[in-house]
Amino acid sequence: MFNRPSQASAFNTLALRVAAILFTVMLVPSAANAAVVGGTTINLGALKGTGTVNEATQVGTFNSTFSAKLNFSGSEDLSIVSSARGAFGTPSGRGYGMGISAGSPSVAFTNNYTFSLERASNLSMNVFNGYEAVRRGLLAPGFQGLYNNTFQVTLTGDNGFSQTRDVTAASWAAVWSDLAAGNYTLSISGRYGYQRISSMSGMLLQGYGGVFNISDAAPGDVPLPGALILLGTAITGAGVWGRRRTRKTRAA
């Protein structure tokens, strides 16, 4: 006959298994700690206008949220979620940022949006921070603005184009005119968090949202071919010579 294991023996086996699992978890870093990247990157694909010069069309909206659980001394690692919606589909990206603390109440981030232009275009963008984004339906209720309501917007292209603009208000708009066809990266950089931390609880909920608009650029002035320039010069010269000859004839 076989003897059943005692309850004490079964309990000891279970305890050993639990201890082994806990030890394994301690050796593996958490997903948040293993993926602290300080921002997100999403690809918007190819953007194009309506085909009519200077007729702007809204190609999509975008937003980014920063959230973390607060405790008396700061927060845990922070979740950054960026998404967009429009003619380019619904791309999204997720990243992590360092938690805030009394010694570092705010932390820097950079979110990148990559896209390409099929032809020369004008790109305009409106950005709304915190409550302004909530009011326009770009963020869910409860989100506040980023640290000090300020950040930077940088547009760079593979063709060497680079321009940075400062955002210092809850609502902001900008236009980049006559951008050449090619690949571009729009970077939004700033800080999340607070000026200082005392005793806090609840959730850190901050974010921004915005709208992309695009139109085809007007064609530039077409330079005259060299032959036409020479022809114009010749005609002008002939006119001057003719007037001088007429004057001489009358004088005679």
Report pLDDT digits (tens) over 100-133. Answer: 887 888 899 999 999 999 889 999 999 999 999 9
Q: What would the mean pLDDT of 133-152 be, rounded to a whole number?
A: 91
Q: What would the mean pLDDT of 60-65 be, rounded to a whole number?
A: 93
Instruction: Tell me how crowded residue 78 is: count the other CB atoms within 10 A of its CB.
Output: 24
Sort 228 into a burial class: Cβ within 10 Å, 0-12 / 13-18 / 19+: exposed
pLDDT confidence of residue 222: 35
Q: What would the mean pLDDT of 12-16 be, rounded to a whole number?
A: 44
190 contact partners, CB below 8 Å, separation of at least 6: 108, 109, 146, 147, 150, 151, 152, 167
Model confidence at 178: pLDDT above 50: yes
The full set of domain ranges for the chain reads 36-216
pLDDT confidence of residue 194: 83
Q: 180 to each of 48, 122, 153, how far by Cα in Å?
A: 12, 9, 19
pLDDT confidence of residue 250: 52
The rounded mean pLDDT for the chain is 75
Q: DSSP secondary structure string, 113-156?
A: EEEEESSSEEEEEEEEETHHHHHTTSS-TT-BPPGGG-EEEEEE
203 contact partners, CB below 8 Å, separation of at least 6: 67, 68, 69, 70
Residue predicted with more confidence, 75 or 184: 184
pLDDT confidence of residue 19: 41
pLDDT class of 147 with cuts at 50, 70, 90: confident
Percentage of the residues of the chain whose pLDDT score is greater than 70: 67
Task: Round to whole Å and give the CA distance between 142 and 175.
Answer: 30
Distance from the Cα of residue 162 to its chain's centroid? 14
pLDDT confidence of residue 70: 83
Q: 131 to each of 94, 95, 189, 234, how far by Cα in Å?
A: 22, 23, 19, 67
